[in-house]
Structure 1
Amino acid sequence: MNRIAAFYEPVEDVDADGQVVQSWLLRFTVAAHVQYLRGSEAVMQARLQSKSPAIITVRHSAQAQGITSEWRAKVDGRTFEIREDPRPDQKRRLLEMLAEA
């Protein structure tokens, strides 16, 4: 866990004109580890589209369990779209999630 990740939840608001506007609300900040994926055909295809698939790992907590595939994470100024709900590792101490920058 050598980086700090900020997790954002999407929030829909109505502006003065009655239009629905989506914004992002910071929910929490935690220590995280980012492991960029490489080597597979799907990863190479994503790189051709200027995307960087990665696995973001955080410690298991009540806050982290609330993360869904609709959320975003910011790590070192880079925005990651969470692509799957977090899943526990084998020891159930950490949560891992697939993300794309």
Structure 2
Amino acid sequence: MAKRITSGSLAEAVAFDEPVQATGPGGAVTTVWPERHACRAQFIYARGSEVVEAARLEGRSTFKVRVRQCAAARAVTTDWRMRDTRRGTEYAVIEVDAITDRQWIYMVVQSGRASG
């Protein structure tokens, strides 16, 4: 029997920011990160692979994140960043899977990576 996911499983609050190039004074181009989508999510601890273990040794955390399917969540790409709005941690979006499950979008995110 498949494990049923309830809204209580979505205990984390996250927001997704899209990088936008802005021209500042003197023509300097900078990247700003306006928030495009905020939702509840479930963090799933990533373990096992050599890449994940190497990232941990460098102080980076890797998680698989589950969010509900919607148009705004499907717009997220690997250029974007995810913020844990409860803890203030920023994560680079490494992978987005909006195809495997009709109800959920799965993402792989990693903290401690340069974004922008």
TM-score (norm 2): 0.80
Q: How far does residue 84 in structure 1 lie from its aligned partner after superposition?
A: 1.6
TM-score (norm 1): 0.91
Other-structure match for 2:106? 96
Structure 1, 33-42 or 67-76: larger mean CA deviation:
33-42
Other-structure match for 1:43? 52
Gaps of 5+ in 2: 1-9, 112-116
Structure 1 residue runs of 4 or more that deviate by more than 3 Å after TM superposition:
none
Q: How far does residue 60 in structure 1 lie from its aligned partner after superposition?
A: 0.3
Aligned counterparts of 2:23 and 2:98: Cα–Cα separation in 1: 33
2:62 to 21, 30, 53: 53
Given that 2:42 and 2:65 are in contact with CA atoms closer than 8 Å, whether structure 1 keeps it comes out as yes
Aligned counterparts of 1:51 and 1:87: Cα–Cα separation in 2: 24
Other-structure match for 1:68? 77
Gaps of 5+ in 1: none
Q: Which secondary structure state, in structure 2, belongs to the residue aligned with residue 85 of structure 1?
A: strand
Given that 2:11 and 2:42 are in contact with CA atoms closer than 8 Å, whether structure 1 keeps it comes out as yes
Aligned counterparts of 1:87 and 1:53: Cα–Cα separation in 2: 19
Quick one: percent identity of the two aligned structures? 31
Given that 1:88 and 1:96 are in contact with CA atoms closer than 8 Å, whether structure 2 keeps it comes out as no
Aligned counterparts of 2:39 and 2:61: Cα–Cα separation in 1: 21
2:96 to 85, 95, 98: 85
Q: CA RMSD in A?
A: 1.2
Higher strand share: 1
How many correspondences in the alignment?
100
Q: Which secondary structure state, in structure 1, belongs to the residue aligned with residue 22 of structure 2?
A: strand
Other-structure match for 2:43? 34
Q: Which secondary structure state, in structure 2, belongs to the residue aligned with residue 70 of structure 1?
A: coil
